[in-house]
Structure formats: structure tokens, C-alpha cells
Amino acid sequence: MSYRRLGVRSSHRKSMLRNMTTSLLLSGKIETTETRAKEVKRIADKMITLGKRGKSDLHAIRQALAYLTSEDVVIKKVFGEYAERYATRKGGYTRIIKTGHRRGDASPMAILELVE
């Protein structure tokens, strides 16, 4: 299997990953469980790579708009700020920092953030 199930149904998983990816690209940092962070990292790196293809690539813009939930994030952040910031970087736009275990259920937690 090429993805993690994350303990939820497919529609919930897709919605959750879309929202988490949008939040990461909007704020630059989110805190979640390690497994969810690993899945969001894959998607966020793909979105930034789409942004690097440029505003002139209409197909890339439509792909990003189809996945992310906020049009402002796509136009201003992904195709603007992040495309310029990571123009010379080949990949690895995000990092996962493990922060310990959650108090309630002892799930391993992590901070997912964009690198500078």
C-alpha cells in the first residue's frame, strides 16, 4: 500500500490531509502525530514543487487549486512566496521534529514545519 490509512475512512482521510496541508502552507508550522506529519510532508512537498513550475503553468495552478482548500494559499503562498524561497532548492522543503508523546493516549507527536 502506498499510503497510510491513519485510522479513518477514505473521505475523512482525504479531507483531513487537505486541511492539514493547507494549514501548513498558510502558517508554516503545524503540530500533529508523527504518522500524519509524514503523510502531510509528502503532499506539501508536491504542492511546493507545483508552485516552482510557475504562474505561467496553468495546469500546475489548477492541480494545486483542486487539492488545497484556500485559493489565497495557492496564489499568494505556493506560487508566490514559496516558489521564490525554494527556487534553488531541489527538494526537502519541510522538516519533522519529534516532540515526545501526547498525554492522553501516548501517541508520538511531532512538529511539521517549512525549512528556511
Task: Say which CATH number the domain at 43 has.
Answer: 3.90.1030.10
Q: Please, which residues have CB within 8 angstroms of residue 48's CB and are 6 or more apart in sequence?
A: 25, 78, 82, 83, 86, 93
Residue with cell 487537505: 18
Residue 107 belongs to some domain of the structure: no
What are the pLDDT digits (tens) for 58-96? 999 999 999 999 999 999 999 999 999 999 999 999 999
- Structural domain boundaries enclosing 45: 10-28+35-90
pLDDT of residue 3: 83
How many domains does the chain fold into? 1
pLDDT tens digits, one per residue of 7-43: 999 999 999 999 999 999 999 999 999 999 999 999 9
Q: Which pLDDT value is given to residue 116?
A: 87
Q: Is the dihedral of CA 65, 69, 75, 81 positive or negative?
A: negative
- Domain assignment of residue 1, yes or no: no
First to last CA, the chain: 32
In a domain, 116, yes or no: no
Do the domain assignments include residue 21? Answer: yes
Residue 5 lies in a domain: no
Average confidence (pLDDT) over 54-60:
94
| Rg of the chain (C-alpha set) | 14
Q: Is residue 3 in some structural domain? A: no
pLDDT > 90? residue 2 = no
* For residue 46, pLDDT beyond 70: yes
Q: For residue 35, count CB atoms less than 10 angstroms from its CB and return exposed for 0-12, middle for 13-18, buried for 19 or more.
A: middle
